[in-house]
Amino acid sequence: MIFNQWYVIAESKEIGAKKPIKITRLNQVLTLWRDLDGKVCCISDRCCHRGVSLSCGCLVDGQVQCPFHGFLFNGEGAVTLIPANGKNAKVPDSMHVKSYSIYENHDLIWMWWGDEDHKTEKPFFFEELSDYSYGSFKDEWNVHYSRAIENQLDAVHLPFVHASTIGRGNATLVNGPVVVMEGDLMTFYVNNIVDDGKSTPLKPNEIADYQKLFHLQFHFPNVWQNFISDKFRIFVAFVPVDEENTVVYVRNYQKLVTLPVFKQLINYFGSLSNKLILNQDKRVVLTQLPKKSELKMDERLIMGDKPIVEYRKRREELKSGKID
């Protein structure tokens, strides 16, 4: 995983103040809950006393109580009470587990994965989506998150994987695509056409007025949006679980309908359609080997794969720490 980044790790609605939850993210087994102020806390799930899973415990005064011997853990991962030693006993400083910085906004939870000294104030989000309402769902994919991301950067697969849905029309010839990188934000412009047997695809630098084309955006390390239209967007967060598993959070955002019941209906049906399309992707992507992509690997790429190549290059730069 790329170090020193904010990663979306969950949705706000998954974390409550009644009991802790256990999730694995970025290879770490974590306990999350809300404290008495509603702030999301995130600490390692393994009790420093004798290794029990803290998320099996309960919440007492906004802190997690280990189910084995009742040690209390606060949001910084520090033990604040060892019941067997008595309420007056001082708790040794060594009694703590790792804690993680959390940021919550847009009904999403981000976790800082990196050095605290390098932590940026807040993560990136497609802020314009604040004006939209959304429906959402989550799914688990048995692939490294790089493969799930690359699938959403892939202009070439549309007429094959999605022949019955968004890839209808047999537009198999891939012009470009044009990729514009602005820091960690990648925008790519797609222009697939039907092959008349005489044309060759245009190179990215031969496409005039590419800004008018259908486009999508990805921002490192793990968020993406599809500009369906001014009023409709699809958002995906690709959340790394471990080296072979990913959770995707998919939202269809819209601002066409704002009346409460109609809004919920349209958001619900939007989610159903996203599920159908994503299942078409999943069926294929789960068979890719290896499960994780790299800049240098045994694959023979073509011009239409440019967004994937640019993703791999930037990912490599960020992983090597050459870029802040």
Residues near ligand FES (CB under 6 A) are 47, 49-50, 52, 66, 68-69, 71
Which of Fe ion, ligand FES, none interacts with 138 (beta carbon under 5 to 8 A by kind)?
Answer: none
Which among 251, 24, 46 is positioned nearest to 145, based on CA atoms? 24
Which of ligand FES, Fe ion, none interacts with 281 (beta carbon under 5 to 8 A by kind)?
Answer: Fe ion
- Closer to ligand FES at the Cβ: 71 or 103? 71
Two structure tokens written together for 75: 């949001």
Three-class DSSP category at 305: helix
- Residues 47, 97: contact at Cβ < 8 Å? yes
Smallest distance from the beta carbon of 269 to Fe ion, in angstroms? 19
Smallest distance from the beta carbon of 78 to ligand FES, in angstroms? 14
Round the CA-based radius of gyration of the chain to a whole number and report it.
22
Which of ligand FES, Fe ion, none interacts with 68 (beta carbon under 5 to 8 A by kind)?
Answer: ligand FES
Smallest distance from the beta carbon of 15 to ligand FES, in angstroms? 21
> Which backbone phi and psi does 154 adopt, to 5 degrees?
-100, 105
Count of positions on this chain that bind Fe ion (CB under 5 A): 1
- Closer to ligand FES at the Cβ: 49 or 292? 49
- Residues 66, 49: contact at Cβ < 8 Å? yes
CA 41 to chain centre: 19
Return the residue matching tokens 């103040």: 17
- Closer to Fe ion at the Cβ: 150 or 281? 281
Residue at 230: amino acid letter: D
Which of ligand FES, Fe ion, none interacts with 110 (beta carbon under 5 to 8 A by kind)?
Answer: none
Q: Measured between alpha carbons, how far is 165 from 68 in angstroms, rounded to an integer? A: 52
Neighbours of 208 (CB within 10 A): 8
Smallest distance from the beta carbon of 236 to Fe ion, in angstroms? 11
Smallest distance from the beta carbon of 177 to ligand FES, in angstroms? 53
Two structure tokens written together for 201: 């695809």
- Closer to Fe ion at the Cβ: 5 or 152? 152
**Which DSSP helix (H) or strand (E) runs through 82?**
none
- Closer to Fe ion at the Cβ: 281 or 310? 281
Q: Does 281 bind Fe ion (CB under 5 A)?
A: yes
Return the residue matching tokens 């690709």: 238
Q: Does 305 bind Fe ion (CB under 5 A)?
A: no
Query: Rule CB under 5 A: which residues touch Fe ion?
Result: 281
